[in-house]
Amino acid sequence: MKRILKTGLFALAAFCTLTLFAGCASKDKAAAQTKTQQTAKKPAQTVQEEDPGVVLLFNEADAIKDTGSKAFNGVSAMQTVKDMTVGWNLGNTLDAIGNGSLYSETSWGQPKTTKEMIDGLANSGIKTIRIPTSWAKHMDKKTYTINPEWMKRVKEIVDWAIEDGMYVILNDHHDNFNNPAKMPACAGYYPNEKNKVESERFLLNLWTQIAVAFNNGYDEHLIFETLNEPRLCGTGHEWWFDQNAAECKEAANCLNEYNQLILDAIRKTGGNNQKRYVSCPGLAASPDSALNPAFKLPEDDEKGKLILSVHMYTPYNFAMASPGDKNFTSAHQADLGRYFSRLNASFVSKGIPVIIGEMGATNKDNIEERVKWFNYFLTQSRKYGMTSCLWDNGAWEIRNNDYNEKYGYYNRREQTWYFPEILNAMIESTKE
């Protein structure tokens, strides 16, 4: 929606006009020249724009609007999450932030997404696809309007998955500003007070446009995820929540407000979005931050529609660290078990289902141990009705004993799996 912003103009300082008469004394002429020079050096006052506040600015005429019609048949978020069983992430694709064109989809080295890729996932037994999507570089910096061609491309991929009977999670992924300094307009969001107004303006315009584009044409198979891993980028607390640190407390409060604002924006568009399932993360999507009392799920008039989103590359030494641990031990099992039990006690047992939006174990040339990890992870999480989505960034080959970020599983070009043993473990472990 385009709004006209009134700009306050400051009066420019008038230059002094000095009239020099012939025959004046030289000292009077020098004084006049000095005065003129001083006046000329005085900087002019600049035109200042008023901050419009947290309002809708996007151009409604350019916004993609959903014209479909489907009945929303979801019973509850709890049942829907159980039905989602196991998922996969279209990682390093629509979330790539290499540039603001449609070519950003392949700017991080992944092939352009095709219907055949999505069909291959569905045929493999994957029931859910998470489509990480970044938006800021595809938005007009003055009006916050999303490039219609980008929105059409996102819708195309979502629609392919929906046509295959899959559940789809659509989010705002890499739009967290990269440091705590004051942000420029339409650069994303950041969880601190300094950037709260700009962050909320960005998120309000973004999520209103997403909700307008995805509404009555989509039933319970489409889930909105407010944010990916909202965090204090560029600080010592980017990945580690300290409940006693002032900046962490501030960030948690800001995030609670952001989740509430996004949910309200989605609900306000009405239609199926009045009933849409919405998942929300804590700081960095960490279970620890979600389990801290500082985290609050938003208030929702629609009961039973909210979901907690967490990410679990757990335990870190086995699942992510390079070199870390190659063997999946009983201590690692106990670590995972404690997290699942605590998430159940704080959320699932109270009617709030949990989606583990990202999980996986990096390739350390330890396929047998990774299969053990997947079996245990998925068997234990399914005891509490949780759905897990495998993170896939396309990187799977090990070079020079570097195990960092080797989370490639699905060959998108061939629609085959690099590690079919892991796929089998995922499918078998999530059967009822």
Catalytic residues: 229, 358
Q: Cα–Cα distances in Å, from 422 out to 48, 121, 305?
A: 58, 14, 31
Query: Alpha-carbon distance 178 to 386, whole Å?
Result: 31
| DSSP 8-state symbol, 399 | B
CA 203 from centroid of its chain's CA atoms = 10
Candidates 9, 81, 18, 13; CA nearest to 43 is 13
Bond prior to 420 in cis (omega within 30° of 0): no
Candidates 236, 228, 230, 242; CA nearest to 294 is 242
Span between the terminal Cα atoms of the chain, in Å = 47
Q: Which residues contact 280 (CB under 8 A, 6 or more apart)?
A: 225, 226, 227, 259, 263, 297, 298, 306, 307, 308, 309
- Compute the CA torsion angle 67, 68, 74, 80 (nearest 10 deg): -90
Query: Alpha-carbon distance 284 to 279, whole Å?
Result: 14
**3-state DSSP assignment of residue 354:** strand
Residue 390 pairs with which residues in a beta bridge? Answer: 88, 359
Contact of 267 with 205, CB cutoff 8 Å: no
